[in-house]
Structure 1
Amino acid sequence: MQTLNIQSSPSTSTAGGGSDTPHALVIGSGFGGLAAAVRLGARGYRVTVLERRDQPGGRAYVYRQDGFTFDGGPTVITAPFLLEELWELCGKRMADTIDMRPVSPFYRVRFHDGEVFDYQGDAEVMREQIRKFNPDDVEHYERFLRMSEQIFEVGFERLSHVPFGSILDMLKITPAMIRLQSYRTVYNLVARFIEDERLRQVFSFHPLLVGGNPFKTTSIYTLIAFLERKWGVFFPIGGTGTLIRGLVELVEGQGGEVRLETEVEEVLVEQGRAAGVRLKSGERIDADIVVSNADSAYLYKHLLPARYRKRWTDKKLERVRYSMSLFVWYFGTKRKYEDVAHHTILLGPRYKGLLDDIFERKVLAEDFSLYLHRPTATDPALAPAGCDAFYVLSPVPHLDSGTDWEAERERYRAKICAYLSSTIMPGLEDELASSHVLDPLGFERELLSHKGAAFGVEPVLTQSAYFRPHNESEEIEGLYLVGAGTHPGAGVPGVLSSAKVLDKVVPHADALVHRSARSAQ
C-alpha cells in the first residue's frame, strides 16, 4: 500500500485517530472523489481517500510508457470555474499551478465522405461553417443556441448543484422541464431547429461524451452547446493528470490523506448508519461519514451488503439501463501529424443505425464512429521530440453484448488503425512507437464498472435527477455518492457538480461534533 501524504499517519482504524475532528472516508480518487474530499476538508472534516489502484484519478488515470504520457479518460475540460472553486476553498488560485490552454477548434468533425466541420466558440466562424452545409441553418442554429441557453439556465445553473432526494424535488421542476421540452431527445430537439442531416449530427453528438445515445438522452443535455460557447474548451499543460495531482495536493494541504493500493471490501453499517469500511486486507477504518466515488452499481452490488438495500436491490440494478462501453487505443507515433486537430470526431457511414447497434441491439458493428485525441497539438511535451501522443476511442456495447474481447481486441484495434491510416493519418501502421488498449473488459476489471459501462447509469429521462441513485444514499444514513453514477451525471462538470451537491446534504463537521457531545451527555 502506498500513501501520497508525506506526513506520517496511523494505519490503524479509529475514526478520529485520537482527534475529535469528524472523519470522512472517500472511496475512489476520480475527479468526483477528490473534489468531494476538498469540499469536506473545507467544511471541517479530516478526510481519507482510499484508492485501489497504484495512482489516483479513476477514469483520469495516466498511462506512461515509451516516453509518452497518455491521459486515461477525461480530456475535454469545460466549465473550468468548477475546478477553480476547489482551489479557492483552499485559499489558492488554480492559475498559479495549472496552466489551462483554450482549444480551438473545440472539435473537428469529419464526415465519412471527407467533409469537415470545425466546431468552435467564435460565432462568426460557426456561421461560416454552417453556411458551407446549409445557408438556411445559420438562422436556425442561432435559434437553437438561444434554446440551449434557456435549458442551460435551468438544467445547469439551477438544477445540477442541488440534490433530488424527494419526489417533491422532481415535481417542483416538472413545469420548467415541460416548458423546455425535456421529454424530447437531444436529436429530436436539434432536428426541430436544424434541417441539414450532417449538421444535426454535429449538434447532437455531445451526449456520447457522457455515455448517452443522442436518440434516447433527454434534451436537457443540449445545454452543452451553450456551456461550451460560454466558457470554451480547455486542456491543461501536462495533461488532465496534472489536475488530479493538483487536487491531491489540495487534499493533503488540508491535512487529508490519499492512500493508494487500498481496496475497500465493504461499507460497514452500525445502527443504520455508515460507520466506516473494511478493506480487502482485513483492516477496519472507522468514519463518521462515507462518500463513494465508486461506480454506483458496484457500490450497491458489492460494497453494501444486500440486507441493507431496500431500493437498489440486485434485481433493481439489473433493470437499470447502463451506458455504452468504449474501446480505447492509446498510441504514440514516431512522427508528427500536424494536420490533426486536438479533438477530432470521425463520423462513420451510419449514425442512428450504429447507435441502435451499440445501445439497443448491443452488437459490435463492423463500422464505427471515433473520437481522436491528439494532446500534443497543445502540449508537445507529452511525447518524445518529433513524436505525437494520441488516443482514439470507439463507442461499443457494454458487456451484455457477449463480445469475446480477448479474441476481438487486436482485430478491432488493427481495423481502427487501418481506417485512420486511410483517412487522416497516412502510413500510421508503420509509424507506431507505443500502444496500449482499454476495452470493456478493462472497464469492468480495472475500473470496477458494472457491465463494463464506461459512464455508469445511462442518462435517459427516466434515469435523471430523482430517478438516479441519490447523492445522499436512500439505503443508510451517512453514506453519500459522487461521480458519474449519481446526480447530475457523467462528464467532468457533472462529477464536479455531484461533489458540490454534498455541501447541501452533508452536515458541517461542527454539527457532528455537537451531535456527538449531546449523545454523550
Structure 2
Amino acid sequence: MSWLTRLAHRDDATLNTRTEPAPAGPDAPHAVVVGAGMGGLASAVRLRARGFRVTLLDRLDQPGGRARVFEQDGFTFDAGPTVITAPFLFEELWSLCGRDLEDDVELVPVDPFYRIRFDDGTAFNYTGDTDEMVEEIRRFAPEDVDGYRRFLEKSEEIFEVGFEELGHVPFDNVTDMLRIVPAMMKLESHRTVHSLVSKYISHPKIRKVLSFHPLLVGGNPFSTTSIYTLIAHLERKWGVWYAMGGTGSLVQGLSDLLADLDVTQRYGAEVDQILVEDETASGVRLSSGEGIPADLVVSNADVGWTYRHLVAPEHRDTWTDRKVEDMDYSMSLFVWYFGTDRTYEDVEHHSILLGPRYKGLLDDIFDHKELADDFSLYLHRPTKTDPSMAPDGHDAFYVLSPVPHLESGVDWRQQAEPYRQAVEEYLADTVLPDLGEHLVTSRMLTPREFKTDYKSLKGAAFSVEPKLTQSAWFRPHNQSEDVDHLYFAGAGTHPGAGLPGVLSSARVLDTIVPAPDAFDVSVPQNGAGAHPEPVA
C-alpha cells in the first residue's frame, strides 16, 4: 500500500480530490509573489489554481528559499527543512493542479522519528507507535507511563483545535481572537510547552523528550505557548516522512507544477520595494530598477524584513519601524554540511544530541543572547534512507546548533570555524568516531547568512518567535493592516514556522484574497488590472 493510500484512510476531509486549475487569460488579475520558499511556492500554486496570473520572484538563483539545495563534491545537501510531516498539505497542492504528488515525488516513512541521545550516552528512540513509546518511557521512568498516556490525550485535544480548526483560519480582527479565548483557556494555552509536559511527566529526561518540538519551529520550550504540543499528535497521526532525493525534490516538483501552469518564475530577481498607490499594493520594484505592476502582492519574504525594508515608512501606521524591531524573534542556527568517505550505519536518519544543559542553554540563546560554550545538536543523515545523496560508500550529513540571533553581537566571520571545530570534536567523541579523518567536503551557514542570503531580520532562522503574545491575532497578520492587497505567507505570519505552518499560511490566502472576478481589469496597466471592487 502506498503512503498516499494509507493517508487517504485518515479520518479528516482536508485532502481534496483532484481538480483542474481555473483558466488565467491575459486579462486575468495579476499577483506577484515575493520569495520562492515553500510558502511562496504554495501561494503561487493556490493563486494560479484560482485563476490569477502569477509572477514568482526570488533573489536566489533557485527556488526553495531556506529549502534550497547545495550540491558539492558529489554530495547533495538540503539546506533547510528535513522533517516532513502532514504530507497531505503537499498532496493538496498537486491535486489543485489536477496531478498526483506520488507521480512526481516519492515519500517514504522515517522510523524512528528521532533518536534522542542524552549527554550521559543513553538514548531514546522516539516513534509514532504508542506501545513502543511506552516501553521506551518505562526504561527510564515507569512512574511516567500513565502521565504519558494522559499527555497524548491532551496533545490530541489541542491538535483538534489548534491545527484542524485554527491552523488555516485568518486572525485579522480582534474578535477572531476573542472568539477562541474560552477554548484556549480550556486547553491551558497560557502554559508553556515545558510547563504542560511537566504537568504529566516527572522524569527530567522524558520532559526533554516531550518538550523539544518548539525548537523545530524556532521556539523556546520554556516560553512557547503549549499550543505547540499539538506537534506530538500531528507526528503520531501522519508520521514523519522523507522525500527521496531530499526536500529539494518537493521544491523542484512545485516549481515544475508552476512551469506547467505558465506561472512566470524569475530567480536572481531581488525585490527592492513593494509599490503602494492610494494605500494599496500596486506592484514591486526590483533592485535593477525594473517595476512590475500587480493587482495584489504576496510576500513570502521575512515579514519583519518586508515591513522594515520593502514597505516605505509613510505607508505603515501599524507596523512602524519601532514595532517591527521590538518584536521578539526566534533564535538563529549554525549549520554545518559535511560528507564523509565512510558510512556510519548505527546513526539514524534524525538524531537529537542533547548537551549537559537544557534550560540554562536555552536561557543563553533566547534571553541572554549569548553564544555558549556547550550546545545541543540536530544531526541529519539522509543517506540512512537515501544513499543517492552521497557518492557510493559515503555519508552525507548536516548538523545544526541553535544559537542566538545577531543581537548577540557575535562576529560569525571570526567565530564560524572555531565553532565548527568544537561541533566536529563533539560529534567525533559521541556518534561519529574519527570524524576528522574521514571528512571530504564541508560548508557552513551561520546567522550572518540568514540575514544576507535570506534577508531575515536579525538573522533569525524562523522569523517571529512563537510565544503566546505573538501567536494568532497577536502575530503579524496574513493580510496587512497598513496596505490593502498586501498579503503574507511564510514563517513570520499565522500560523507559524515549520513546513505545516508555512503551507497552512498559503492556505489562509484562499480565504482572504478576493476571487479573481472581484477585480476590475477593464483597464489593463501593463500586466496589472485596476484595484478589485469591494467584495460583500
Range into which the TM-score falls when normalised by the shorter chain: over 0.9
1:40 corresponds to = 47
1:203 partner SS = helix
Q: Which amino acid aligns with 2:162?
A: G
1:228 corresponds to = 235
Q: Which amino acid aligns with 2:127?
A: Q
Q: Which amino acid aligns with 1:90?
A: C
Structure 1 position 368 matched with structure 2 position 363:
no
Deviation per residue, 1:116-155 (Å, 9 max, x gap): 0000011211111010001121111110000000000000
Once residues 379 and 311 of structure 1 are traced to their aligned partners in structure 2, the CA distance between those partners, rounded to angstroms, is 48
Which of 383, 390, 397 is the aligned partner of 2:390? Answer: 383
Would the aligned equivalents of 1:21 and 1:513 in 2 still touch at CA under 8 Å? no
Flag structure 2 segments of 5+ consecutive residues without an equivalent: 1-23, 524-528
2:320 corresponds to = 313
Q: Report the TM-score, using the length of structure 2 for normalisation.
A: 0.93
Q: CA RMSD in A?
A: 1.5
Which of 157, 160, 173 is the aligned partner of 2:164? Answer: 157
Would the aligned equivalents of 1:20 and 1:513 in 2 still touch at CA under 8 Å? no
Once residues 476 and 159 of structure 1 are traced to their aligned partners in structure 2, the CA distance between those partners, rounded to angstroms, is 24
1:393 partner SS = strand
1:408 corresponds to = 415
Q: Which amino acid aligns with 2:144?
A: D
Which of 299, 302, 306 is the aligned partner of 1:299? Answer: 306
Would the aligned equivalents of 2:57 and 2:267 in 1 still touch at CA under 8 Å? yes
Residues 109 and 519 from structure 1, CA distance in 2 versus in 1: closer, same or farther, beyond 3 angstroms? closer
By how many angstroms is 1:427 displaced?
Answer: 0.2
Deviation per residue, 1:303-354 (Å, 9 max, x gap): 0000000111111112100000000000000100111000000000000000
Structure 1 position 424 matched with structure 2 position 424:
no
Question: Counterparts of 1:170-185 in structure 2 under 5 Å?
Answer: 170-185=177-192
Deviation per residue, 1:419-456 (Å, 9 max, x gap): 00000100001110110000000101111101100000
Once residues 403 and 221 of structure 2 are traced to their aligned partners in structure 1, the CA distance between those partners, rounded to angstroms, is 15
Once residues 145 and 95 of structure 2 are traced to their aligned partners in structure 1, the CA distance between those partners, rounded to angstroms, is 40
Question: Counterparts of 1:397-476 in structure 2 under 5 Å?
Answer: 397-476=404-483
Flag structure 1 segments of 5+ consecutive residues without an equivalent: 1-16
Which of 323, 332, 337 is the aligned partner of 2:344? Answer: 337
Structure 1 position 148 matched with structure 2 position 140:
no
By how many angstroms is 1:520 displaced?
Answer: 12
2:354 corresponds to = 347
2:512 corresponds to = 505
Which of 86, 95, 99 is the aligned partner of 2:93? Answer: 86
2:215 corresponds to = 208
Aligned residues: 505
1:101 corresponds to = 108
Question: Counterparts of 1:222-261 in structure 2 under 5 Å?
Answer: 222-261=229-268
Q: Which amino acid aligns with 2:248?
A: G
1:482 corresponds to = 489
Once residues 500 and 54 of structure 2 are traced to their aligned partners in structure 1, the CA distance between those partners, rounded to angstroms, is 23
Once residues 39 and 518 of structure 1 are traced to their aligned partners in structure 2, the CA distance between those partners, rounded to angstroms, is 21
Q: Which amino acid aligns with 1:134?
A: A
Would the aligned equivalents of 1:110 and 1:346 in 2 still touch at CA under 8 Å? yes
Q: Which amino acid aligns with 1:475?
A: D
2:62 partner SS = coil
Would the aligned equivalents of 2:519 and 2:532 in 1 still touch at CA under 8 Å? no
2:498 corresponds to = 491
Q: Report the TM-score, using the length of structure 1 for normalisation.
A: 0.95
By how many angstroms is 1:513 displaced?
Answer: 4.1
- Give the stretch that moved more between structures: 244-253 or 479-488: 244-253
Which of 66, 73, 83 is the aligned partner of 2:80? Answer: 73
Once residues 461 and 519 of structure 1 are traced to their aligned partners in structure 2, the CA distance between those partners, rounded to angstroms, is 36
2:250 partner SS = helix
Once residues 175 and 264 of structure 2 are traced to their aligned partners in structure 1, the CA distance between those partners, rounded to angstroms, is 38
By how many angstroms is 1:19 displaced?
Answer: 2.3
Q: Percent identity?
A: 61
- Give the stretch that moved more between structures: 135-144 or 481-490: 135-144
Would the aligned equivalents of 2:295 and 2:532 in 1 still touch at CA under 8 Å? no
Q: Which amino acid aligns with 1:451?
A: K
